[in-house]
A and B are shown apart, each in its own frame.
Chain A
Amino acid sequence: MPYYIGDVIRDENKLVARTPERFRDSGIEVLIRTPVERIDMKESAVQLAGGSTIDYDILAIGTGTIPILPGIPGQDLEGVFTLKRLNDAIRIKSYIDMKPVRSAAIIGAGFISMEMCENLRLRGIETTIINMGNLPVTRWDPIFSKRAQEELDRNGVITLTGTKTESITRGNDGRLHLATTAGELAVDLLIIAIGVRPDARLAAEAGIPLGKTGAIQVDFSQKTPLENIYAVGDCCEVFNRVSMRWVHIPLGDIANKQGRVAGRNIGGAPILFPGIVAAQSFRLFDLEMAATGIDEREANQAGFHPVSTIVWGNAIAGAMPGNSPVGIKLIADRSTGKLLGAQAIGEAGAVSRVNTLSCALWAGLGLEEVAYLDLAYAPPFSPSWDPIHLAAQDLLKKL
């Protein structure tokens, strides 16, 4: 969606994986513009707006997330958006096309904010990030987040750090006036991207148990604790194989897999969902950023004794033209030598390395194994000692 708003993807229909017609052709009935208002557990039925009901033998809940709002005056004004659904993207894009929008602000500095500012800049819009904290994308080590901040600066994105937005009003000039702790700011468009929370309202009201995260509790077959009721995607929890805990990580690839697992179990071809290692990536202008596994804080919470290192290596053989630095952070458990997490940043080669390390995490490899892992070497693709090896060997010294 951010790339659609940036006009990198021109046609919104390219974002629709499967149309209602195609579902109907395969014998699946689809109702759109039809909110479910209540789940009636006693009658095994869902109640629609207007009071009509539909009975079920089996129910699957995939209600997703709701964007968090800051709860400040003016957050519902025209020109203030969250980005969650395709409709939001279409509304933002047509607002930009219609208005003309010369300047925009984004509240929040997570990955949606990062993707949006790249695309707003692509459209020549002056863009300001209003960050409550001091660095963007705090899943990454501060050293990598600083590199991300430099990338924002280099591409002309203005950043206000340590700044809270207190209210939004429409000025006489027709623009949105933001009162912030760093002074006033007037923009044509405001995007709020401060995170999401699971939409578990229907489930909670029906007595379907939620986990500690506030998302719906499920087991490895995507079943909730109640008979014949499944939940999938952003509205439910997922098992983190590294921390061995049920977590809420709303990502699209996880939703797809959980959906397919539930579908198989409902359709009589049972399978278990093996969990995740929390691999995530995004692009910020010329930078790739990726992370997998858990960080020191999560490791401590899960009872590990984390040690970590950051190593900068070459994305490809150092002598090759086009080489660029790639930073790798590894986190391991001091007592067992087990790999716990990895982060990477660079103009090239960051995402592929985090994917490799995701496999290592999945398999539960130790640093000794990662340090001598057999990886394909050829000068256009990597140095003979890959930065993954260098980082693992460096971290071994700290065990």
Chain B
Amino acid sequence: MGKKLVIIGSGAGGASVAAEAKRRDPNLDIVMIEQGDYVSTAA
């Protein structure tokens, strides 16, 4: 198991962290936590 990355918020910023970190290091164990109903939305 790789390191565990926790991301708070899944807007443009948080979602980009998740996607890019996973692309660079597929072994990362990533959890993205969002309080709202949607992730990765455009304004």
- Chain A residues with CB under 8 Å of chain B are 1, 15-20, 23, 26-36, 39, 46, 48, 54-64, 85-87, 202, 230, 232-235, 252, 255-260, 262-264, 266-269
Contact = CB atoms under 8 A, between A and B. Distances in A.
B19 A60 contact: no
B31 A54 contact: yes
Given A36-B35, A264-B20, A232 B42 contact: no
A259 B17 contact: yes
Given A27-B26, A35-B35, A62-B14, A46 B41 contact: no
Contacts of A62: 7-11, 13-15, 17
Given A59-B8, A235-B13, A260-B20, 8 more contacts: A23-B19, A28-B22, A29-B32, A56-B5, A60-B5, A257-B16, A260-B19, A263-B18
A1 B28 contact: no
A64 B33 contact: no
B36 to A, nearest CB: 6
Main secondary structure, interface of B, reads: mixed
- Ranked 3 nearest A-B pairs via Cβ: A233-B13, A259-B16, A267-B24
Nearest to B9: A62
Interface of B: 3-26, 28, 30-43
10 contacts: A18-B15, A23-B15, A28-B31, A36-B33, A55-B4, A62-B13, A86-B41, A264-B24, A266-B24, A267-B24
Contact of B35 (A16, A33, A55): A33
Contacts of A28: 18-19, 22, 30-32
Nearest to B20: A263
B11 A255 contact: yes
A18 B40 contact: yes
Contacts of B9: 61-64, 233, 235
B7 A26 contact: no
B33 A267 contact: no
Contacts of A202: 8
B39 to A, nearest CB: 6
A266 B17 CA distance: 8
Contacts of B35: 33-36
